[in-house]
Amino acid sequence: MRVDLFDFALPQENIALRPAVPRDSAKLLLLTAKGQSSDHIVTDLPDLLSDKDVLVFNDTKVIPAQLEGRRGEAKIGATLHKRIDLRRWQAFVRNAKRLKIEDIVDFGVGVLAEAEAKFEDGSFQLHFLGEEPVEVLLARAGTMPLPPYIASKRAIDARDAEDYQTMFAQEKGAVAAPTAALHFTDDLIQSLRARGVGHEILTLHVGAGTFLPVKTDETDDHQMHSEWGRITAETADRLNQTRAEGGRVIAVGTTSLRLLESATGEDGIIQPFAGDTDIFITPGYKFRAIDGLMTNFHLPKSTLFMLVSALMGLDNMQSAYAHAIKNDYRFYSYGDSSLLLP
């Protein structure tokens, strides 16, 4: 399909620079397969679900993966994308034309990394030098890797260290938050439990590739970056049991959805999973694992808008987004939410 089919006009004032306070006070747009929509707030979620439904959350934790340094006189910026081993990361580099293989980048406060290799997409393999764990080095030199559409409009500050983590964050390794779950609070989880709505946990370490624009004219020509994920056998069994008993598996966030779909065969059975996935979902895809999706509002011509269009239909999503813009919904990572029930 042509990428420009997924374009739409988004006023700058609809881009959220801070999350709602409290988190669960954000707006929530409910959309069904017939194109019917209604306006709610996130605290209405228990009333929109049934006691057979299960929400699936991603427990990845964002690390301070944004680094600023120098190679000689040249300024070098790096956004870590995917871990390779204990000391090596794939990273997207700003001012990459000034960086060559075997160059050492000084990120300050005693943090040095060697550019060991360059990948076809222009990213680099960085080898962090020394004996201190890389997590310690990043805590000292790194900052939260806010999406460019936020970071370009304001400085990253101490508040983001808390705002850009979900309440489920446990497994360190993401360089982007699973932002649909940013709306959840202890009070909301208690309300969902009282309603009888269950929840399950998986892990997908979201990479910086989620921010990259689609630069091709056709969706078939776009190459997704791979990310590492895990679903335990126990979690898979419980989710399969939910569907067998007539309940719905509802992914909270496109990260949870992509991992669930990667772990599910043509028979619709969710399997245990541990490894990389680069699944790219566009209209025409047959969903096998999920029955609904809670997600924020995404960028024009992005892989994530393509995904929701595959789930609900492109015309439905274009109409829903037009409604959201007209009614002052807030877009992107710190923005409002939608509940998509096909």
Least confident among 112-116, 147-151, 301-305: 147-151
Instruction: Give the integer Cα–Cα distance in Å for 187 and 206.
Output: 26
| pLDDT of 135 | 94
pLDDT band of 148, cuts 50, 70, 90: confident
Please tell me whether residues 47 and 192 are part of one structural domain.
yes
Please tell me whether residues 94 and 240 are part of one structural domain.
no
| pLDDT of 211 | 67
Please tell me whether residues 239 and 115 are part of one structural domain.
no
| pLDDT of 225 | 86
Please tell me whether residues 58 and 70 are part of one structural domain.
no
Residue 35 has pLDDT above 90, yes or no: no
The token pair at 185 is 């609070």
The token pair at 127 is 């080898």
User: What is the CATH number for 95?
Assistant: 2.40.10.240
Please tell me whether residues 194 and 292 are part of one structural domain.
yes
Question: In this structure, is residue 97 part of a structural domain?
Answer: yes
User: What is the CATH number for 270?
Assistant: 3.40.1780.10
Average pLDDT, the chain: 95
Q: Which domain holds residue 199?
A: 3-62+163-341
pLDDT digit string, tens, across residues 261-311: 999 999 999 999 999 999 999 999 999 999 999 999 999 999 999 999 999
Please tell me whether residues 31 and 122 are part of one structural domain.
no
pLDDT digit string, tens, across residues 233-242: 999 999 999 9
| Domain final position from 84, 113, 142 | 142
Residue 212 has pLDDT above 80, yes or no: no
User: Is the CA virtual torsion 340, 284, 148, 76 positive or negative?
Assistant: positive
Start-to-end Cα distance in the chain? 21
What percentage of the chain exceeds 90 in pLDDT? 90
Please tell me whether residues 171 and 138 are part of one structural domain.
no
Q: What is the mean pLDDT of residues 163-181?
A: 96
Please tell me whether residues 195 and 101 are part of one structural domain.
no
Alpha carbon of residue 26 to chain centroid: 18
Per DSSP, 219 falls in state G
Give which of 342, 4, 42 is closest to 192, Cα–Cα. 42
The token pair at 239 is 């989710």
Please tell me whether residues 86 and 128 are part of one structural domain.
yes
| pLDDT of 152 | 87
Please tell me whether residues 46 and 193 are part of one structural domain.
yes
